[in-house]
Amino acid sequence: MNKSVVHKTNYTRTKSPAEEEQAAMHMAAKLSSQAAESMALADGGSTHIVRPDTASDDDVQENNLRPQVLSEFLGQSAIKKNLSVFINAARDRGEALDHLFLMGPPGLGKTTLAQITAHELGADFKVTSAPALDKPKDLAGILSTITPRTVFFIDEIHRLKPAIEEMLYIAMEDFELDWVIGQGAAARTVRIPVPHFTLVGATTKAGMVSSPLISRFGIVQRFSYYTNEELALIIKRSAAILNVQVKEDAALAMAACCRGTPRVANRILRRMRDFAQVEGGNIITAEIVKDGLKRLDIDSLGLERYDREILLSIIHNFSGGPVGAETLAISIGEGQDTLEDYYEPYLIQCGLLQRTPKGRVVTEKAYTHLGLTPRRGNTNEDQRLLF
């Protein structure tokens, strides 16, 4: 019987020509999709610089700008104070920190704070993302090799597959892995112990994380957007690391158009450093920032050209609204999901756009920002296409 098992495990099935052709077509389609995404990101030069949810080529330099200890982490003072207490207590007891759940918009420092947590605890740091965990054995492979008190970081944890999530429940509570050995009538369950560890889960969509998973986190922290003053401090700290001088008014000017996000602040700082190096020595002044943002087509609120086109489309084509999301998406040549999930949130946060039961409406603040006069007495709003 043992020989048959060995023979079975050593047997490698050869793919048929049809399967190989299908795999090749799948790979070609995947590469084509990636190439299309890269071309879309490259189109327009400065597009997506102020969008924290979109990756940029020079974001690889972000690791050099990340703070290493909690005292260097600027902003999020309430989170820092609480987390400092929890970390010091766990370190003094020689225990693993309770599981930590971080939620908030992209680019606010969730990954950085996870790295700082591991550094402050003096523990190992392992990082992965939920899409990378394809099968339960992937999670088992990571947890079976960790050391005691390791900080295990899972980014975009709301995208975990159900089978992996259920395995994670037992690992978080009992620090064991539930593994099935054998098949059919001979199958049996084995509990494999793992060292006590700290799971740090981060998500930009807390509403998509299941309640059973959230309830297993002992520490839950929500990130908020940074103020302009906090972003100015972050910009000056990053400038010192990059060996470039920044004037106080220039730092505040850059902070105002960063959408409350440090990731965007560091991107804009690197672009202003380029302008300063070529045109103004090694000092970033308010004049260089003003000229640089104009050349990048970014205004004082951090709006890009396409954001302004959405507002102008509502104003000029639909008399300021209301207009339905589908109609607006068609008018600007974008999909409705892209409009609702990608462009509208920041416009609403800035108070430039409203979502009403009848459709999208541009606010008076948007008219003022665009230098236009608000229209009064819209007599055709009942005839608007609302879908």
The residues assigned a catalytic role are 110-111, 155, 204, 263
SS3 (DSSP) at 209: coil
Burial of 222-255, coded b for 16+ CB within 10 Å and e otherwise, reads ebebbebebbbbbbbbbbeeeebebbeebbbbbb
- Decide: 98 and 86 in contact? Cβ < 8 Å: yes
Cβ neighbours of 219 (radius 10 Å): 17
- Concatenated DSSP letters of 53-105: TS--GGGGGHHHHS-SSGGG--S-HHHHHHHHHHHHHHHHHT-PPPPEEEE-S
Look up residue 135 and give its amino acid.
Answer: K
- Decide: 265 and 50 in contact? Cβ < 8 Å: no
Q: Which two tokens stand for residue 69?
A: 């200890």
Where are the alpha helices (H) located in the chain, listed in sequence order? 2-9, 17-42, 62-65, 77-93, 110-121, 136-143, 162-174, 211-214, 228-241, 248-256, 262-279, 286-295, 305-317, 325-332, 336-338, 344-349, 364-370
Beta bridge partners of 180: 189
